Each structure stands twice: as C-alpha cells, then as structure tokens.
Amino acid sequence: MGKCVWITGASSGLGLHTANALRQNGFTVVAGARSFAKPENCTDDRCLPLDVTSDESVSAFVKKALQMTGVPDVLIHAAGVLNLGACESYTDDEIRLVMETNFFGLTRMVRQVLPLMREKGKGKLVAFSSINGLLGIPFEGAYTASKHAIEGYLECLRMEVKPFGIEVMTVEPGDHRSGSSLYRRHGKQMTPQSPYWKAYQRGTAVIDHDEKNGSDPARLGRKVANALQKKRLPCRLCIAKWDQHMAVILHDVLPVRLFSVFIASYYSKKTKPDQSEKGTVL
C-alpha cells in the first residue's frame, strides 16, 4: 500500500491503537507524542517527540517527518486530555490546557500540514472528536467544549479544502478501554469543600465505570484504518456502543429540558466500586 500517515497523541490510548492498526494494514506511520522525547518510550525509529501545544515543537516534528517520508497522505490528530470538574470551578489554566491540546493542537497541525497537501493536490485530514462533541455530560465541560470546537472547525474545513482534493473525517468515539491517568485529570477546586462535591463524586464514578467497561480500542483502530482505505473518506465515523448512539439521537429529538433531566439522572446514579485501572476517552 505504501500510504504515509502522521499521527499525534500516538503513545497511548486511542492514538496508540490507531497507529498500531495502521501499521498492521501496511501504512507507513510517523508517530508523535510528548513522551517520545525519551528514547525508551519509542517503539521504532519513526517515533518523534511532539507537543501539540507548542508551535516550535510542531514545526520541528513536521521538519523531521518530512525528511523521513515526504508529504503525508494522511494527518491524524488524536492528541487529547480530559479534565473533570464543575464548569464554575475550572481555572483558566485548566481550560487552556484542554483547549490547547485538543483544539488548538489540531489547528497548529493543520496550518503546518495542509499547505503541503494542497501543493501535492491531495490528502486526508482526520481528527478525533468524541461523543462529547455531539452532546454534553456533567463535569466534562472543558473537554466537551473542546470537542464541540473540533466538530465546528472540521465542518468548515471540509467545505474549504474539497476543491483542493483534500478530504476531512471526524472520528467520534464513545467510551473505550484505553488511555492513561496522566491524560485524565481532576480540577484543582474539586474538593470536599466544593458545593458540587457529592454530585461530582457520583458523576465521575459513573464516567469511570463506563470507561472501564467501554469498547475495545483495537477495534476502533481497525475501523479508522479501514475507513482510510475506502475510495471516499466518510465525513464522520462514530464508534460507540448502541446506548451511546441512542443518546445522540435522543439529544437531537427530545426537548432540551427533558434530555437534560435524562442525562443528569444517569450521571447521578450510584455505581459499585471498581478497582480496575482507569481509562480515558480520547
């Protein structure tokens, strides 16, 4: 096949599983992640350090990747972080980190790579949004805002770049068993003194339970790889369990107040303690 893919956030979570699936399907993969700054974290010689919150790091990654493979056929932005907290309680720094990684990290990569693809006359741009790009849930306000931003940005980008032979796909994962607690943070002000504390404990317990019992991340990687091999790239690829697909449908058809009651009640239920490893939706 010989197709070349550059992918961000490739050291863990859904980015790692996607990179692995691409390699298994014959793609040449240049993987970027902050942790690749340490040689012991690199799986092969096409792992490059990349901090998508830094213009300098993005420029250095693009320069080195070009030397390795030339202009990529596909750019995938999978880098992401999640900060759990009440909307009122987020600090500016907490919101900025989520937006800088999830959204502005995408726009930095696009600014660097899109001109190369446009000159080449073809290319594919893929970015990971989330089910949270389609609806909101309690205590994921910053993450949900970043994913809604990605949804809107890619919708506009898709129309703008089509005349240049460039396709755009939005990947919308539901809960998956993947990731690292390093990318799943808790707001500094979420303490027992917070007026949201009890609701926060219940809500994040449900989130944690759903992630631990989520879908197979390797399956998601295979679906992304399969989509990239189609003659025409899908505009959206929603990969989630049936109940999360149903939640998206209900979000669109129910009155806002009724849907809000439905979601709020789900995230206020009690869950049984689970000692398994934490995951994160990226």
- Partnered with residue 77 across adjacent β-strands are 8, 127
Give CA–CA dist 11/79, Å, rounded.
Answer: 9
Give CA–CA dist 191/79, Å, rounded.
Answer: 28
Alpha helices in 100-179 (DSSP H): 105-120, 141-161
Contact of 177 with 215, CB cutoff 8 Å: yes
Give CA–CA dist 203/44, Å, rounded.
Answer: 39
Q: 174-210 burial string, b = 16+ CB within 10 Å, else e?
A: bbbbbbbeebbbbbeebeeebebeebbebbbbbbbbb
Q: Give me 90's structure tokens.
A: 């987020």
Give CA–CA dist 252/134, Å, rounded.
Answer: 9
Bridging pattern class, strands 123-128 and 74-77: parallel
Give CA–CA dist 13/226, Å, rounded.
Answer: 19
Catalytic residues: 11, 129, 143, 147
Burial of 147 (0-12, 13-18, 19+ CB in 10 A): buried
Contacts of 266 (CB under 8 A, 6+ apart): 206
